[in-house]
Amino acid sequence: MNKHMMQQAQKLQAQLLKAQEELANLTVEASSGGGAVTVVMNGQQQIQSVKISPEVVDPEDVEMLEDMVLTAVREASVKAQELAAKQLGGLTGGLKIPGLM
């Protein structure tokens, strides 16, 4: 690898690290059950918060609540992946780099 290519690779690596740091500060929100369950996740797919409306907490139907939480987490995960792809896509030229997307 020549010197110019090495410099380009180092520049790209620095830009990717910066973009990943920025993703940690960006959030997406998803809800289910008409807003009864809300999940906030950052751009690195780390859950930041889960909010559950008291009226959907039914000891006789825990399965429904579990399904709503799972649905909201899955939707937040998809949104976080889309956010990461958007943020990192310009840097990687659309390439999917393991560990980044």
| CATH number for position 31 | 3.30.1310.10
Inter-axis angle of helices 62-92 and 3-25, nearest 10: 150
Q: Is residue 99 part of a domain?
A: no
Sequence-distant (≥ 6) Cβ neighbours of residue 74 within 8 angstroms:
30
Quote the tokens at residue 96: 């999917």
* pLDDT(11) > 60: yes
The residue range of the domain holding 69 is 3-92
What pTM value is reported for the model?
0.76
Question: How many CA atoms are closer than 13 Å to the CA of 79, on its beta-carbon side?
Answer: 18
Sequence length of the chain is 101
Q: Is residue 97 part of a domain?
A: no
CA distance linking residue 11 with residue 17, whole number of Å: 10
pLDDT tens column, 68-84: 999 999 999 999 999 98
Total domain count, the chain: 1
